[in-house]
Amino acid sequence: MSKEKEKVSNSATEFYNSKETIDGDIATINFGPTHPATHGIFQNILKVDGEKIISSEQTVGYIHRAFEKLAERRPYNQITPITDRLNYCSSPINNLGWHMTVEKLIQAEIPKRVDYMRVIIMELARIADHLICDSVVGVDTGALTSFFYPFQEREKIYELYEEICGARLTTNIGRIGGFERDFTPAFHTKLKSFLKTFPKAFSEWDSMLARNRIFMDRTRGTGPISPERALAYGFTGPNLRAAGVDYDVRVMHPYSSYEDFDFIIPVGVNGDTYDRFMVRQEEIRQSIRIIEQAYGNLPEGNYKADVPDFYLPDKADVYNNMEALIYHFKIVMGEMEIPSGEIYHSVEGGNGELGYYLISDGGRTPYRLQFRRPCFIYYQAYPEMITGQTISDAVITLSSMNVIAGELDA
Partner 1 sequence: MVLSNEDLQSQVEALLGANILHSEINFDILSIEVAADKIHSIIAQLQKDEKLRFEFLTILGGVHYPEQINREFAVVYHVHSWKHKIRLRLKAFLPLSNPSIDSITDLYPCANWMERETYDFYGISFNNHPDLRRILNEDSMDYFPLRKEYALEDATREDKDDRFFGRF
Contact between 247 and partner 1 per CB under 8 A: yes
Residue in 201, 216, 343, 391 binding partner 1, rule: CB under 8 A: 343
Contact between 258 and partner 1 per CB under 8 A: no
Contact between 368 and partner 1 per CB under 8 A: yes
The closest alpha carbon to 49, from 23, 10, 70, belongs to 23
**Residue pair 274/219 in contact by the 8 Å Cβ criterion:** yes
Backbone angles phi, psi at 137, to 5 degrees: -60, -40
**Residue 48 or residue 408: which is nearer to partner 1 going by CB?**
408
> In whole angstroms, what is the distance from residue 330 CA to residue 310 CA?
9
Residue in 61, 166, 362, 388 binding partner 1, rule: CB under 8 A: 61
Contact between 159 and partner 1 per CB under 8 A: no
**Residue pair 45/59 in contact by the 8 Å Cβ criterion:** yes
Contact between 104 and partner 1 per CB under 8 A: yes
Contact between 370 and partner 1 per CB under 8 A: yes
| Residue 26, C-beta contacts closer than 8 angstroms, at least 6 positions apart | 47, 48, 49, 54
**Residue 166 or residue 254: which is nearer to partner 1 going by CB?**
254
> In whole angstroms, what is the distance from residue 93 CA to residue 86 CA?
10
Residue in 308, 364, 383, 392 binding partner 1, rule: CB under 8 A: 364
Among the residue ranges 115-123, 184-192, 195-203, 352-360, the one whose residues contact partner 1 (CB under 8 A): 352-360
Residue in 158, 334, 387, 392 binding partner 1, rule: CB under 8 A: 334
Among the residue ranges 170-178, 289-297, 359-367, 392-400, the one whose residues contact partner 1 (CB under 8 A): 359-367
Burial class (CB in 10 A: 0-12, 13-18, 19+), 99: buried
Query: At closest approach, how far in Å is the CB of 398 from partner 1?
Result: 17
State the binding string over 292-331 for partner 1 (x if CB under 8 A, else -).
Answer: ----------------------------------------
Number of residues that bind partner 1 (CB under 8 A): 42
| Residue 248, C-beta contacts closer than 8 angstroms, at least 6 positions apart | 241, 265, 348
Query: At closest approach, how far in Å is the CB of 131 from partner 1?
Result: 28
Among the residue ranges 31-39, 64-72, 131-139, 308-316, the one whose residues contact partner 1 (CB under 8 A): 64-72
> In whole angstroms, what is the distance from residue 307 CA to residue 305 CA?
6
Query: At closest approach, how far in Å is the CB of 396 from partner 1?
Result: 23
Burial class (CB in 10 A: 0-12, 13-18, 19+), 379: buried
State the binding string over 204-243 for partner 1 (x if CB under 8 A, else -).
Answer: ---------------------------xxxx---------
Query: At closest approach, how far in Å is the CB of 342 from partner 1?
Result: 5
**Residue 10 or residue 59: which is nearer to partner 1 going by CB?**
59
Contact between 410 and partner 1 per CB under 8 A: yes
Taking the mean position of all CA atoms in its chain, how far away is CA 207?
Answer: 24
β-sheet with 353-360: strand ranges across? 341-348, 353-360, 368-372
Among the residue ranges 66-74, 146-154, 205-213, 293-301, the one whose residues contact partner 1 (CB under 8 A): 66-74
β-sheet with 52-59: strand ranges across? 26-31, 43-49, 52-59
**Residue 299 or residue 334: which is nearer to partner 1 going by CB?**
334
**Residue pair 309/302 in contact by the 8 Å Cβ criterion:** no
**Residue 78 or residue 203: which is nearer to partner 1 going by CB?**
78
**Residue 233 or residue 327: which is nearer to partner 1 going by CB?**
233
Under the rule (CB under 8 A), what is the footprint of partner 1?
60-61, 64, 66, 68-70, 72-73, 104-105, 231-234, 247, 252-253, 333-335, 341-344, 346, 353, 355, 357, 359, 364, 367-368, 370, 372, 376-380, 409-410
